[in-house]
């Protein structure tokens, strides 16, 4: 094999990536918000990293089973009162929920089928 798997019929899930430039990573809300995300049955993997170069800079990457799974994670009342306000502290425009189309590990590349139609850019208002 060449390290590539044929495109799979299964979906790859969705990846949430947000960046923070002014976050006190040791505040009271951060561990609770991370626990809420990681504790969701729809969260496959979570990484939260702080910069070693710039104080207050951090990035969150969380992989969910689906876009619906991400929405389910944010639906319970505790998530709406703690997690969503915490996520809103992210840098404006830095948040993105993306469909996973390929993953790689141990020299293997795995592809996944698209589940969302391609999003066309909005026409400019010129």
pLDDT in tens, 6-34: 444 466 889 999 998 877 666 888 999 99
Check which CATH number belongs to the domain holding 84 and give it. Answer: 3.30.70.100
Predicted local distance difference test score (pLDDT) of residue 114: 78
- pLDDT tens for the chain, 126 residues long, are 344 444 444 668 899 999 988 776 668 889 999 999 999 999 999 999 988 888 878 899 999 998 899 999 999 999 999 999 999 888 888 777 777 788 888 888 888 877 776 656 666 655
Enter the tokens of residue 10.
Answer: 């299964």
55 within some domain: yes
Provide the residue range defining the domain that includes 63.
14-100
Give me the number of domains the chain comprises: 1
Contacts of 75 by beta carbon, 8 Å cutoff, 6+ apart: none
80 within some domain: yes
Predicted local distance difference test score (pLDDT) of residue 23: 74
Contacts 24+ apart (CB under 8 A), 73-79: 73/36, 73/37, 73/40, 73/42, 73/43, 78/36, 79/36
């Amino acid at each position: 094999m060449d390290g590539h798997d044929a495109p799979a019929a299964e979906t790859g899930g969705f990846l949430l990536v947000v960046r923070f430039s002014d976050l006190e990573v040791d505040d009271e809300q951060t561990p609770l918000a991370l626990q809420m995300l990681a504790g969701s049955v729809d969260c496959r993997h979570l990484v939260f990293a702080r910069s070693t170069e710039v104080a207050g800079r951090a990035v969150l990457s969380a992989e969910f089973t689906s876009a619906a799974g991400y929405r389910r994670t944010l639906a319970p009342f505790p998530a709406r009162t703690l997690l969503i306000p915490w996520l809103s502290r992210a840098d404006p425009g830095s948040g993105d929920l993306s469909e996973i189309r390929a993953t790689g590990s141990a020299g293997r590349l795995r592809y996944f089928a698209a589940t969302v139609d391609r999003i066309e850019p909005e026409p400019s208002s010129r």
